[in-house]
Copies of this chain bind each other. A is one copy, B any other.
Amino acid sequence: MSATFRYAVNVLPKAGILDPQGRAVEGSLGHLGIEGVSAVRVGRRVELSVAAADEAAARAIVDRLAHELLSNPLIETATFELLMATSSAVSGGSSGASSGGSGR
């Protein structure tokens, strides 16, 4: 019996790290006539599915992916959240959605 879990990994530049994309967005606000927007940080969002025996096993895989492949821990922070869980069991099983984040 296994299940499929859909996660979102959010990667953002650490506080104090230069964020030229964020500055570019702030610089464009005037052209749109938008006021009151500040502290823009631009990062990445990666959504992926993990097939695993249970959520702990899936979470371990996503944790490794988030910190070894999808982010540079020196300059970025990575957190992830569970978007959806789908059981592929033939009899019974559960499906649902919950969310939580983890960073290091």
Chain A contact residues, CB within 8 Å of chain B:
6, 8, 10-12, 22, 25, 28-29, 32, 34, 36-52, 58, 61, 64-65, 68-70
- B36, B46, B58: which contacts A40 (Cβ < 8 A)? B46
Most buried by B among A10, A37, A51, A69: A37
Cα distance A49–B44 in the bound complex, in angstroms: 18
Cα distance A64–B34 in the bound complex, in angstroms: 9
B12 engages A36 (CB within 8 Å): no
B49 engages A38 (CB within 8 Å): yes
Cα distance A45–B65 in the bound complex, in angstroms: 18
Cα distance A37–B49 in the bound complex, in angstroms: 6
